[in-house]
Chains A and B, each alone.
Chain A
Amino acid sequence: MPSEIYLDYNATTPTPKAVRAAMAVAAEACGNPSSVHRFGRAQRARIENARQQVAALAGTDARQVIFTSGGTESNDLALNGVTAKSVVVSAIEHDSILRGREDALRAPVHSTGVIDLQKLEVLVGEAGPPVLVSLMLANNETGVVQPVAEAADIVHARDGLLHCDAVQAGGRLEIDMASLGADMMTLSAHKMGGPQGAGALIIGERVQLQARVLGGGQERGYRAGTENVVGIVGFGAAAQLAHEHMDGWQRVAQLRDRFEVRISDAFGDEVQIFGRDVTRTPNTCCIARTGIDAETQVIALDLAGIAISAGSACSSGKVESSHVLAAMGVAEPVARTAIRVSLGPSTKAADMDRFLAAYKALTKGGVAHAA
């Protein structure tokens, strides 16, 4: 039996009906998009339509969109596909960035969760050119939005390239490539209502990229392999839907904010909400609770029918405390008690009420009596 209330949208999202419908049509079709016959051409047309939908979300030209198998592959392509002598990343990046280039220098963040731009400037200056900087637009654990445009100015002043992992921001915030100043941007379908197994790397005009996956020369030679047509179609539909419903996040942000006020009122110093004073994605709340381990909270809440997470899903199998909170200077005993609550477009006020009741019922032993 699945949980009844899903508050783990930063791990993955359900696919809306319209997206499933678009995918169902594509799934009934056959043909390799590289084939020249009519079956192939029809598939090609589906992909190019999706490319435009994704490009529109990012305010770019369709030609700049490279479809991949997801955020991790896009990040790998960005980090290892360009010729950069040195790489600087923020300390709070996703593991696919942190482990993507082991030699990368790490720029610290303030206690708010926002990158320290002065330190970034120093690191970029010290790094041997050409430099590549990778800075996420929104953090997956705290939702804290990073000053990507300012970072881009710093990087461009040194003739470097800026890559932005916008996986958690796509479909939730404006992600206009030009105003962000990003040279490359990563998007993932399944964080915005699309299917798992599809993503994109969007590249600017001046980026020289070498493919990582070699073969038949698909995606203009940047990414070989028969395209995941159904996944790409779902990605495109999800991008368009998200783009059209961007104003819906105001309601979600209000739900989240109201929830945080009620939690603070109820628990005072017993809880700590990270990144609350800075701009965050509208859906994310990262919250520590004195004395109750995150794992205990996750299990108790799951029993109460509520799905949340103790950190990012990729590493949530491992007993490791969050590198994001550590970078923000959060003490390990506190970080161990932090959970991530992430809302979605269909989260209702009643869901948050039930969650609050269950959260209030949490005890050190983890027994929650949900209302």
Chain B
Amino acid sequence: MQHKADTDASRGDAATPDTKRDRITPAGRPSKLPAPIYLDYQATTPVDPRVLDAMLPWFNTRFGNPHSQHQHGWQADEAVQEARAQVAAIIGARSRDIVFTSGATESNNIAIKGAAKAYRHQRNHIVTCVTEHKCVLESCLQLERDGFEITRLAVDANGHIDLEQLQMAVTEKTLLVSLMAVNNEIGVIHPLREIGEICRDAGAFFHTDAAQAVGKIPLDVEAANIDLMSISGHKIYGPKGVGALFVRRSPRLQLAAEMSGGGQERGLRSGTLPTPLCLGLGMACKIAEREMEAEHQRITVLRDRLYQRLTSELDNISLNGDAEQRIPGNLNVSVARIDGAALMMGIPEISVSTGSACTSGALGPSYVLQALGLDAESSDTALRIGLGRFTTVDEVDYAAERIVAVVKQLRGQQALPTRA
């Protein structure tokens, strides 16, 4: 790993890689002042400096439109094709199966609505799950209003679907099974191989939203029989505004384009390809592929350290989602008798969340946690702590200390008959 342990957690912007710290941290900052610490890696990740370095020249001297027929254009196109190969490599796909999009939300929209439009006269049933990302659920809802039949599988208390239920739900009318690889709130990993087998046996296409999974767990579209896979740039230390969709070409899967126009990306996704963003995604995949294993181990140690500390110093704290089948960077805990939002306000210098960023503006308990069977009160007490590539031991220790202190304080306050 490239990242030296930071010995002074209070020194700089925790979300910023060590190599950049000295540049952006105001000198002479009082060391007592807590740094803002970023522990929300499922919402988004900082751009890896190596990714940024790869992108920058393409904003400047190499700015060509990759669809232009001159040297500026060819140069950009060549770079985009290399990036395409890098994205393909991390999921065991071929370059020609990768379509660049503006992000995982668009990828999910194209995959679900595009397949539905292309095959609606043959099959009209889609199977998904209640804990999917909003953009999958919303796309399915639109199709339901449009005459599709949608089955939304429930999950157990650990966040897992029941494979037998899936088996029963999938029929010869099932066009598509859309199940995420890793959940964005609780980090739970779905059994992709088993799901893929069920889909293959029924002749249904398998789409997986892998926004939270790429670079975190090994993925292989062949081994898991995946036909469509959504990928995000900004969840894997790449830039925002870019993603990809894996679309199986053999046997060929048809998709109706959502946007028409210049016919870029094999007609599946028109619009000028943003060269620097595509390169950023490619580089992010390349780094993730190389460093995934080491990173997995390092983050697991940090996660365990944090959880250990929280559970040993606080009572009535419970983990949401399966403890084993989850990515190491996610800790979703319910702290009994503590409102998650109040806790967040008590630790303003630590950026965590109470749930998905997309819906965090909205009030109300998390639909993912409710699906696990948590009552409204337990959902309200949940805190999502996301660890990642640039998280340090000091940050974890600081966060644990502060969370413990604030929880104790809040619980103490709550014991009083009146609150200020």
Q: Is the CB of B68 within 8 A of A96?
A: no
Q: Is the CB of A31 within 8 A of B351?
A: yes
Task: Chain A residues near B249: list those with CB within 8 A.
Answer: none
Task: Chain A residues near B344: list those with CB within 8 A.
Answer: 36-37
Task: Chain A residues near B277: list those with CB within 8 A.
Answer: 195-197, 228, 231
Spot the interface stretch: A149-157, A177-185, A219-227: A219-227
Q: Is the CB of A316 within 8 A of B60?
A: no
Interface positions, chain B 36-81, Cβ under 8 Å from A, are: 36, 38, 40, 43-47, 52, 56, 59-65, 67-73, 75
CA distance A230 to B68 in the complex (A): 24
Task: Chain B residues near A23: list those with CB within 8 A.
Answer: 59
Q: Is the CB of A314 within 8 A of B64?
A: no
Q: Tell me if A90 counts as interface (CB < 8 A to partner B).
A: no
Q: Is the CB of A230 within 8 A of B240?
A: yes
CA distance A44 to B24 in the complex (A): 20
Least Cβ distance of A207 to chain B in Å? 19
CA distance A309 to B270 in the complex (A): 19
- Given A217-B134, A231-B241, check contact A225 B43 (CB 8 Å): no
Q: Is the CB of B60 within 8 A of A15?
A: yes
Q: Tell me if A14 counts as interface (CB < 8 A to partner B).
A: yes
Q: Is the CB of B134 within 8 A of A28?
A: no
Q: Is the CB of A30 within 8 A of B241?
A: no
CA distance A213 to B357 in the complex (A): 17
Q: Is the CB of A313 within 8 A of B272?
A: yes
Partner of A314, one of B24, B241, B270: B270
Q: Tell me if B276 counts as interface (CB < 8 A to partner A).
A: yes
Most chain A CB inside 10 Å of its own CB: which residue of B15, B62, B361: B361
- Classify the secondary structure of B's interface with A: loop
Q: Is the CB of A198 within 8 A of B241?
A: yes
- Given A11-B73, A39-B38, A196-B276, check contact A216 B241 (CB 8 Å): no
- Given A73-B271, A313-B73, check contact A34 B360 (CB 8 Å): yes
Q: Is the CB of B271 within 8 A of A39?
A: no
CA distance A32 to B270 in the complex (A): 26
Q: Tell me if B338 counts as interface (CB < 8 A to partner A).
A: no
Task: Chain A residues near B70: list those with CB within 8 A.
Answer: 3, 8, 298, 302, 307-309
Least Cβ distance of A71 to chain B in Å? 7
A4's nearest neighbour on chain B, judged by CB, is B71
Binding site for A on B (CB under 8 A): 13, 15-16, 20, 24, 36, 38, 40, 43-47, 52, 56, 59-65, 67-73, 75, 102-106, 108-109, 133-135, 138-139, 141-142, 232, 234, 239-242, 258-264, 270-277, 344, 348, 351-353, 356-362
Between A and B, 10 residue pairs with Cβ closer than 8 Å are A2-B61, A35-B44, A36-B344, A37-B352, A68-B102, A72-B261, A76-B259, A95-B270, A215-B105, A313-B68
